[in-house]
Amino acid sequence: MKRLFIAIKLNPDEKFLETYNLLKSSLKQDIINWVKPEIMHLTLKFMGPTPTEDIPKIKAILSYFCKQKTPIKFEFDKTGIFGSSYDPRVIWFGISKNDEIKAFGEDLLNLFHESGFKRDRQNFVPHLTIGRIKKIKNKKYFQSIIDKVKDRKIQLFNVNEIILYQSILKPDGPVYVELGKYELV
């Protein structure tokens, strides 16, 4: 069994890192596990623990899917939290309006479902987790920092490929191993 997911690799630019570092430095008094910029990705489908013998079928589905799709663009242009303002759990960058990336993600989920890979209960909601919150010391201050960047344009991404990754969980954070790269036509 291998823990797999399908994602778009993100290469943060200067503007992206400026917002990320502002949040990180402004919230340094809190206990937050920040996602390292070099491993950031937009998850399209989390496969979870997957039998090794299913990997060739997954690769074939991805190859077929990408031959049907052209490159797309999307922009992270908002910042928010999952959880409530009383109990925030995750800080994320999100996409306001982009039917193209939503349709792309939904099409991928539907194709995998039709191919025998169970679909999650939720619809595809494109977002990038940037921090997992363990403890907030001052929730009012925390919310004021989130509010400062909530509508900030963060980065425009041009997507030319998707990647099949294996996630290996380690005490100092996950390691992602690329199992396949699939170009959009």
- Residues designated catalytic: 41, 127
From the list 176, 87, 89, 171, the residue with the least C-alpha distance to 131 is 89
Strand partners of residue 155: 76
Give the C-alpha separation, 165 to 3, whole Å.
8
Contact, 173 vs 36, CB < 8 A? yes
Helix (H) or strand (E) holding 159: strand 155-159
Q: Rounded CA gap, 93 and 138, in Å?
A: 21
Please give the C-alpha separations between residue 70 and each of 131, 163, 182, 185, in angstroms, as whole numbers. 31, 15, 12, 5
Element spanning 163, H or E: strand 161-168
Could you give the CA distance from residue 45 to residue 8 in angstroms, rounded to a whole number? Answer: 10
- Identify whether the C-beta of residue 125 lies closer than 8 Å to the C-beta of residue 93: no
